[in-house]
Amino acid sequence: MKYDYLIVGAGLFGATIAHEALKKGKTVLVIDERGHIGGNVYTENVDGINVHVYGAHIFHTSSDKVWDYVNGFATFNGFINSPKADYHGERYDLPFNMNTFVKMWNDVTTPDQAKAKIASQTMGYTPENAKNLEEKAISLVGTDIYEKLIKGYTEKQWDRSCDKLPPFIIERLPLRFTFDNNYFNAKYQGIPVGGYTKMVENMLCGADVQLNISYNDVRGKVDFGKLIYTGTIDGYFGYSLGKLEYRTLRFETARLETNDFQGNAVVNYTDRETPFTRIIEHKHFEFGKQPFTIVTREYPEEYSFGKQPYYPVNDKKNADLYMKYRALADRERDVFFGGRLGSYGYFDMDKTIENALDLAGKIL
Ligand code: UDP
C-alpha cells in the first residue's frame, strides 16, 4: 500500500503531524528506531511511578492554542517546577528570584537591595551588549550568582566555557525580583496524568506505527507521498557536509527503599566538581505516595554515534554548518524536517508542537 505520509520519529513533532494528517483523512506510517513511541518525552511506568526515561519533561506554554491542543490528549496535573540548586551543600532556590538573593546575600531582603547588589557586580556588562553567555549572565545576576549557580553547571552541561556559548541559553531561565520559585514564566504548566507515553499514544491513534526500524531500513521498501523527518538533519544527508555536534546525557537510575530521597522533583548540582548536573526524583512530578522512590542522575556527555543526541550545540561553527544542511533540505521535494534534531534547534515541547502545527497547516 502507499501511505500519504511516512513520518520518521514518534516524538512530539511526528505525533502532531500524524494526528493532523489523520484528521484530514490521510494514511500515515510512523516509524521509530527506538523500541517505543514518545521520543525523548517517553515515560515508563515502574510500579506506579512514571519514570522520565530521557530526563525531566515539564510541559509549559503560554500559547492557548498549544495548551488546548495537548489537553485534547491528556489531563494535566498542575505540577509547577521549582528546582533547588546545590552548590557544595549550600542550597538555593531557582530560578533567580528573591528567595535566591536573600539566601545568597545576608544584607539583602528587598527587591531594591537585590537590584543594587547585582548592579554592583555586573562588571560593566549589560544585557544588550553581552556577547556570550558569561557576559549575559553577569549582566543579569552579577558575579556571585554566576560563579555559584551558573558557571559550573553550564560548563558541565555543554563542556564549553561560558564565554564560548551564546547568550540566549541563559535567557531560558526567568529572573524575578519577587519571591516566586516557578521555573517557568508560562501561563500553563503541568505533567500529563498517566505519563507522556499515554499522551503520545492518544496522538498517534489511527496511525500505523513500526518500532525498532530506521529510515534506512524502509527506504525504497515503503511507498509514500510525503516524508516528515525528525531525525538528525546531518544524518539524513549522510553527513556529506560534516557532522553537526550534539550534547547527550547519560542517565543513572536507581530505585531506593525510602519514600522520599530529596523532597523535590529536581535538584541541580551547580558546582563544577560534582560530575552530574541534576538528580530527578520522578514520583514528585505526580505527587506520588509510594513507599519507595526512583531517582535519576544526569551526566552530560559529548554525543557520538550510537548515543541519543539530545541538545544541538548552539555555537557559531554548528550554526553555520546547519545553515548549509538547511539549504540542501530546502531543495528536497516533499520532504519536511522538524523537531529538535530535524531543525537543529533547542526547542521546548510546546514550541515543537507549535512548529508541527504550523507545518501541518502549510502542507496538509
Ligand atoms: N543553568 C544554570 N544553572 C542551573 C540551571 C540552568 O546555569 O542551575 C543554565 C545552563 O546554561 C543551562 C541553561 O541554563 O544549559 C538552560 O537550562 P534549562 O534548565 O532550561 O535546561 P534544560 O532543562 O533544557 O536541560
pLDDT in tens, 60-98: 999 999 999 999 999 999 999 999 999 999 999 999 999
Write the pLDDT tens digit of every residue in 1-21. 899 999 999 999 999 999 999
Q: CA 90 from chain center: how many Å? A: 26
Instruction: State the residue for C-alpha cell 557520538.
Output: 304
* Contacts for 198 with CB less than 8 Å, ≥ 6 apart: 74, 192
Tell me, in angstroms, the distance from the centre of ligand 1 to residue 347's CA: 13
* pLDDT for position 104: 98
Write the pLDDT tens digit of every residue in 303-329. 999 999 999 998 889 999 999 999 999
- In three-state secondary structure terms, 143 is helix
Given a cut of 90, whether residue 58 has pLDDT beyond it is yes
* pLDDT for position 314: 82
- In three-state secondary structure terms, 339 is helix
Q: By alpha-carbon position, which residue is closest to atom 15 of ligand 1?
A: 154
Q: Which of 44, 100, 50 is nearest to 79 (CA)?
A: 50
Q: By alpha-carbon position, which residue is closest to atom 3 of ligand 1?
A: 150
Sign of CA dihedral 44, 46, 49, 51: negative
Looking at 5, 236, 246, 247, which residue is catalytic? Answer: 247
Q: How far apart are CA 42 and CA 353, in angstroms?
A: 15
Write the pLDDT tens digit of every residue in 244-296. 999 999 999 999 999 999 999 999 999 999 999 999 999 999 999 999 999 99
Given a cut of 90, whether residue 361 has pLDDT beyond it is yes
The residues lining ligand 1, judged by C-beta closer than 6 Å to any ligand atom, are 85, 94, 149-150, 153-154, 157, 169-170, 172-173, 268, 270
Phi first, then psi, for residue 225 (nearest 5°) are -85, -65
CB 349 within 8 A of CB 43: no
Ligand 1 test: best mutation among 169, 298, 340, 352, most atoms within 8 Å of CB?
169
Given a cut of 90, whether residue 39 has pLDDT beyond it is yes
Which of the 8 DSSP states describes residue 244?
A: P
Tell me, in angstroms, the distance from the centre of ligand 1 to residue 148's CA: 13
- pLDDT confidence band for 199 (50 / 70 / 90): very high
Q: How far apart are CA 301 and CA 310, in angstroms?
A: 10
Domain ranges of the chain: 2-80+188-241+311-363, 95-172
* pLDDT for position 317: 94
* Contacts for 361 with CB less than 8 Å, ≥ 6 apart: none
Catalytic-residue membership of 247: yes
Tell me, in angstroms, the distance from the centre of ligand 1 to residue 28's CA: 36
Q: How far apart are CA 94 and CA 192, in angstroms?
A: 23
pTM of structure = 0.97
CB 247 within 8 A of CB 310: yes
- In three-state secondary structure terms, 12 is helix
* pLDDT for position 135: 98
Specify the CATH class of 2-80+188-241+311-363 in words. alpha beta
Catalytic-residue membership of 255: no
Tell me, in angstroms, the distance from the centre of ligand 1 to residue 154's CA: 7
Instruction: State the residue for C-alpha cell 550554526.
Output: 319
Q: Which atom of ligand 1 is nearest to the CA of 157?
A: 15
* pLDDT for position 284: 98
Relative to beta strand 2-8, strand 223-229 is parallel
Question: 10 Å Cβ neighbour count for 181?
Answer: 19
Catalytic-residue membership of 155: no
